[in-house]
Amino acid sequence: MRIARVLAVLVGVLFAAGATLAYAQAAKAPGVVVLKGAPNGDVAFNHPAHVKAASNKCEGCHHPSKPEKAATAPQESCSKCHTKVATAPMKTKLQAAFHNPMAKSGVCVDCHLKLVAAGKKAPAKCTDCHKKA
């Protein structure tokens, strides 16, 4: 009986710690981030909308860090590691972190096309995301 009570308390503490950690990470998440520098226009990236669409699964976009460039936080902005021109030790430039040069595949494009194929509304053309000022 005593072991069951200790286990119940332990599970409760772990649950509370996990909920606190999840709330702390969510509280730091950005709102709308404007991704600048693309030749065909800036992208207003609505982070909360993407979090909701991904069912709070950050790893869909934020991949684990690589050994050559360790992360300093659980989730970091793409530009923290990926720069306009790939700088060693990174091999992937910023644009390629989102999609390939012809925008036929990549993290953003693959997800958007999957949503469109499922009959859901999602940007499917370059100008749906990229806006010239």
Predicted local distance difference test score (pLDDT) of residue 1: 66
Flag whether the pTM goes above 0.85. Answer: no
Predicted local distance difference test score (pLDDT) of residue 98: 93
Burial 114-131 (b: 16+ CB within 10 A, else e): eeeeeeeebbeeeeebbe
**Are the CB atoms for 93 and 83 separated by under 8 Å?**
yes
Mean pLDDT to the nearest integer, 2-23: 50
Question: Which tens digits make up the pLDDT trace of 37-51?
Answer: 899 999 999 999 999
Helices (H), 63-118: 94-98, 107-117
Task: Please give the structure tokens belonging to residue 71.
Answer: 């992360």
Q: Quick one: which of 28, 64, 70 has its CA closest to 47?
A: 28
| Domains with residue ranges and CATH for the chain | 31-63+77-131 (3.90.10.10)
